[in-house]
């Protein structure tokens, strides 16, 4: 959501907006340590599930691997990652590369 957009008093208001946008992009997923894994997993499940039900696209990027230790599966939950696989119909793109900023000495 844009930073200059309206302030939301409740999480439900944010969820309602996320459900209806034509294209949802989640950037740097897993960058911050979640305050509660249960809350985080429920939030991601809701977002992904609603996008699937509505037939709307979702773009997600993360430095975390899909599975294994400290992965998207740990953060989002196995069911949510399975749902992402289903959304992609097997065409999930995983790119393994060194950080551009680190490579250029900018980090």
What is the arithmetic mean of pLDDT over 6-10? 59
| φ, ψ for residue 3, nearest 5 deg | -65, -30
Distance, in Å, from the CA atom of 56 to the CA atom of 96, rounded to the nearest integer, reads 26
Task: Indicate the number of domains in the chain.
Answer: 1
What pTM was computed for the model?
A: 0.74
Q: Can you give the residue range of the structural domain that contains 53?
A: 11-103
Question: Is residue 18 predicted with pLDDT exceeding 60?
Answer: yes
Whether residue 52 is contained in a domain is answered as: yes
Whether residue 2 is contained in a domain is answered as: no
Whether residue 3 is contained in a domain is answered as: no
The conformation of residue 55, written as its DSSP 8-state character, comes to: T
Distance, in Å, from the CA atom of 20 to the CA atom of 16, rounded to the nearest integer, reads 7
Whether residue 1 is contained in a domain is answered as: no
What is the arithmetic mean of pLDDT over 40-59? 91
Whether residue 83 is contained in a domain is answered as: yes
Whether residue 96 is contained in a domain is answered as: yes
Beta bridge partners of 26: 60
Question: Is residue 80 predicted with pLDDT exceeding 90?
Answer: yes
Whether residue 61 is contained in a domain is answered as: yes
18/76: higher pLDDT: 76
Whether residue 5 is contained in a domain is answered as: no
Give the model's confidence band at 9: pLDDT under 50 very low, under 70 low, under 90 confident, else very high.
low
Q: Which two tokens stand for residue 36?
A: 């509660």
């Amino acid at each position: 959501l844009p930073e200059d957009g309206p302030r939301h008093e409740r999480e439900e208001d944010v969820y309602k907006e996320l459900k209806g946008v034509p294209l949802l992009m989640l950037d740097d997923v897993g960058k911050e340590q979640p305050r509660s894994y249960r809350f985080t997993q429920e939030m991601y499940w809701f977002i992904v599930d609603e996008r699937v039900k509505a037939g709307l696209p979702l773009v997600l990027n993360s430095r975390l691997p899909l599975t294994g230790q400290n992965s998207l599966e740990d953060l989002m939950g196995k069911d949510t990652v399975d749902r992402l696989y289903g959304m992609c119909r097997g065409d999930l793109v995983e790119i393994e590369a060194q950080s551009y900023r680190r490579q250029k000495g900018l980090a």
